Amino acid sequence: MPECQNCGSFVTEAYARVFTPPGVEDPRVCPECEDKIRDGAQIREARSSRGN
């Protein structure tokens, strides 16, 4: 099962297929990451807390 390169959380294969480039199995960031977010094709530091 794929896991996030940033926080180590497990992600679904469908999420990894959509949010990773061809040939890469593990996404660089996932919805569980509190310190980074996706910004288009880039990854950036979160500007505010993503806590629940």
pTM attached to this predicted model? 0.74
What pLDDT, in 10s, does the model give residues 1-28? 899 999 999 999 999 999 898 999 999 9
Work out how many domains the chain is built from and give that number: 1
Q: Which domain holds residue 41?
A: 13-45
Report the pLDDT value the prediction gives residue 51, as an integer from 0 to 100: 60
Give the residue among 41, 36, 48 at the shortest CA–CA distance from 4.
Answer: 36
DSSP designation for 26: S
Within a domain: 36 = yes
Is the pLDDT assigned to residue 52 strictly greater than 60?
Answer: no
Q: Backbone phi, then psi, for 42, in 5-degree steps?
A: -100, 165
Rounded Cα distance, 50 and 25, in Å: 25
Within a domain: 28 = yes
